[in-house]
Amino acid sequence: MQYFNLHTHQFTNDDEVLELVNQYPKSFDASIPYFSIGIHPWYIKEEDVAEELRIIEDKIQRENCLALGECGLDKRIEVPFDLQVEVFEKQLALAEKYKLPVVLHCVASFQELIAIKKKLKIKVPMVIHGFSKNQQLAKQLLENGFYISFGKYLIQNTELEEVFKSVPNDRFFLETDTINESIKEVYELAGKYKNLNSEELKNTIIQNFNIVFKNGRMD
């Protein structure tokens, strides 16, 4: 496998790509080769949380589960923020218990996210997926130990070029999330921005993968 897609909702079955496919507890698809699983803040239903956490704890013990998530915090939705924090912290506890990295959704809640990481003394790697913000915030996240993943907004917003270029090569991932473009197209743009040729970029991502996703396999 030559490419790693940190976060996608669509399994393409491309032999060259290891896809970390996002799954939800109540619609789990056992045929997906590699997956992450979590309770997205958009879909929190208080009455379902206990059952979904049980499902997550069961599924994350599978060898082909590479991460917990996506999960996180979002201040632009109607789900009460206190409930989001409670559900998020319970998922982080599972990630710590089983030593799995976490794929994060975060909207307008970055300071709270940093505070929770510090409060709970989270040691597992945490990756902000779909980053679209400024260089100052990226720097703050990096200083607090987060990895940052780029994809949709890197493709759609040329102003992210300078932000992406400022992130050290050992702290980023690439993804497609919900865009129609392939991960290979994301790699092509990222290589252009980073002034890395195809093999250099592939090796950079593989090295980052091997550090963060220790239970995974990427040849």
Q: Residues 124-127: contacts with CB within 8 Å, 24+ apart?
A: 124/95, 124/96, 124/99, 124/100, 125/101, 125/211, 125/212, 126/101, 126/102, 127/6, 127/67, 127/101, 127/102, 127/103, 127/173, 127/212
Tally of CA atoms within 13 A in the half-sphere of 121 that contains its CB: 1
What pLDDT score was predicted for residue 34?
97
Cβ-based neighbours of 11, under 8 Å, separated by 6 or more = 19, 21, 32, 33
Predicted pLDDT of residue 106 = 98
Give the model confidence (pLDDT) of 88-101 as tens digits.
Answer: 999 999 999 999 99
Contact present, 3 and 18 (Cβ < 8 Å): yes
Residue (of 208, 200, 141) closest to 174 by Cα position: 208
Q: Considering only CA atoms, which of 71, 79, 68 is closest in space to residue 39?
A: 71
Domains of the chain from N-terminus onward = 3-22+29-147+160-180+203-212 (3.20.20.140)
Beta-bridge mates of residue 128: 104, 148
- Model confidence at 217, pLDDT cuts 50, 70, 90, reads very low
Q: What is the pLDDT of residue 146?
A: 98
* Residues with Cβ within 8 Å of residue 191, at least 6 apart in sequence: 197, 198, 200, 201
pLDDT at 1: 72
Residues above pLDDT 70, as percent of the chain = 98
181 three-class SS: coil
Is 70 exceeded by the pLDDT of residue 218?
Answer: no
Alpha-carbon distance of 110 to 76, in angstroms, equals 13
Check residue 215 and give its pLDDT. Answer: 58
Could you read off the pLDDT of 18-61 as tens digits, one per residue? 999 999 999 999 999 999 999 999 999 999 999 999 999 999 99
d(CA 73, CA 91): 12
Q: Look-up: residue for tokens 């997550």? A: 56
Tell me what pLDDT residue 219 has: 43
Please, what is the average pLDDT of the chain? 96
Res 214 pLDDT > 90: no
Residues 188-201 pLDDT 10s: 999 999 999 999 99
For 219, which DSSP code? -
105-146 per-position pLDDT tens digit: 999 999 999 999 999 999 999 999 999 999 999 999 999 999
Sheet of strand 172-174, all strands in order from the earlier edge strand to the far edge: 3-8, 17-23, 35-37, 65-74, 102-107, 126-128, 147-150, 172-174
